[in-house]
Structure 1
Amino acid sequence: MAPKYKLTYFNLRGLGEPIRFLFHYGGIAFEDNRIEFADWPKVKDSTPFGKLPVLEVDGKPFPQGASIARYVAKQVGLAGKDDLEALEIDSVVDTLVDLRLALAGFYFESDEAVKQKKKDIALKETVPSMLSKLDARVKENGGYFVGGKLTWADVYFSAIHATFNHFMGENAIAKYPNLKAIVDKVEEIPAIKAWIEKRPVTDL
């Protein structure tokens, strides 16, 4: 019998969307449990580490967005053909996680002076360096991040890039044609395209 999945995340795309993309890609049924921010204080203590997303597998909760996405990727055949390829994929995803943290670091900063300093470093140094290297990697790998074929790194990036745009206040991949091509390819996968067309409309 197939496991019963329940994904709990806020009512937005953010860190939940890569997981939703992967579930839909694989045609795996799951409960998309969305929490409003006003209700979060009542829910927080019931999560393993006081953070979302959380995936319940037959009632057992598991935290950490990238770890959950990796698990689902294994279920849908996008986690690599062997351990070395899986390592390559993980390294790309961890880089994307680092990039998101760099952007979130200034976006959520309350001290305006500190915020501007963090923003300057992120937008002038961190983002261009990481995105240019990722773009080159895609070009060298036949239009994908790893192995010249679709993996969960491509799906993860396609789902999370909108968060980068939101934090930056601009199109993060406008200058990176190979990264843009990945997003276009993933969003045209029939199951993911169908999800995008019907998903709840949120600001982020």
Structure 2
Amino acid sequence: VISRPFQDLVPLCLWQASRSMSKITLTYFNAPGRAHGIRVALFTAGVAFEDKRIEGKDWPALKPKTHGGSLPVLEIDGKMYTQSAALARWAGKKSTMYPKDDIEALRCDEVMAIGEDLLAKTPSSQDPAEKKRLREEFAKGFMKLKCDMLEQYCAEAGDNFVSGGKDLTIADLSIQGLCDMVKSGNFDYVDPSYMDAYPKMLALAGRVASSDILKKYEESQKK
């Protein structure tokens, strides 16, 4: 799938420049997950890229071919790059989705790091009963600590986005992605109602979902 650029909001000169850019391929599972912010930021910037989505059954064969055995992976002219936060930051800088203000950028990076830390430390087990026990403990401990921090930052931002500015950033997409993952029941053994304790995060996620940027992106995915 070749992502269609966000032509309505991107100047023609930027769109034309993107047509002559290097070949870019983003590989991730067929789900939003850690690639959500990267996909949206590249789309918003008008950067043409191949959005390569794989199914879980295809991952074992692909895993040894990736750096560090993880996804997402971004390839630029055949050279591979990893780490979702770094990829999202790179993509965000190509649009309005990474702050130019140093303090706003600092908060943006912090929020991204919190989200990555939460996902990276999420426990798992091949034994369902053990996985359930570990996840329930995680939700009451480390996950709560991180969500409490994000809730505070959303509250401090007030009517602005979480980085403190008026523009939606990759940090807001990170929070939206976490909220949607839990609410949809895709965070195993964490009740979908868990996010009800974080109204500021949910409000931000709602603003992101109703933004012109997300509406345009979602519409492009239907084509």
TM-score class, shorter-chain normalisation, is 0.7 to 0.9
Q: Which position in structure 1 is the counterpart of 2:147?
A: 131
Matched, 1:19 2:38: yes
State the SS of the aligned residue for 2:141. Answer: helix
Q: Which position in structure 1 is the counterpart of 2:164?
A: 147
Of 32-41 and 76-85, the range deviating more from structure 2 = 76-85
Q: Structure 2: any 5+ residue segments left out of the alignment?
A: 1-19
State the SS of the aligned residue for 2:196. Answer: coil
Of 171-180 and 26-35, the range deviating more from structure 2 = 171-180
CA distance in 2: counterparts of 1:161 and 1:125, whole angstroms = 17
Q: Which position in structure 2 is the counterpart of 1:10?
A: 29
1:21 and 1:192 in contact (8 A); partners too: yes
| Counterparts in 2 of 1:151 and 1:141: CA distance versus 1, 3 Å | same
Q: Structure 1: any 5+ residue segments left out of the alignment?
A: none
Aligned pair count reads: 197
Q: Which amino acid aligns with 2:177?
A: A
Q: Which amino acid aligns with 1:7?
A: L
State the SS of the aligned residue for 1:2. Answer: coil
Query: What TM-score comes out, normalization by structure 1 length?
Result: 0.83
Q: Which amino acid aligns with 2:154?
A: V
Q: Which amino acid aligns with 2:164?
A: G
RMSD over aligned CA atoms reads: 2.3
Query: What TM-score comes out, normalization by structure 2 length?
Result: 0.77
1:44 and 1:51 in contact (8 A); partners too: yes
Matched, 1:43 2:62: yes
Q: Which amino acid aligns with 2:146?
A: M
CA distance in 1: counterparts of 2:29 and 2:195, whole angstroms = 25
Q: Which amino acid aligns with 1:68?
A: L
C-alpha displacement of 1:116: 4.1
Q: Which position in structure 2 is the counterpart of 1:194?
A: 216
> Identical aligned pairs, as a percentage?
34
2:179 counterpart (138, 161, 179): 161
| Counterparts in 2 of 1:116 and 1:41: CA distance versus 1, 3 Å | closer
C-alpha displacement of 1:73: 0.8
State the SS of the aligned residue for 2:31. Answer: coil
Q: Deviations over 1:137-165 (max 9, x none)?
A: 21211242222333221122213432334
CA distance in 2: counterparts of 1:172 and 1:178, whole angstroms = 13
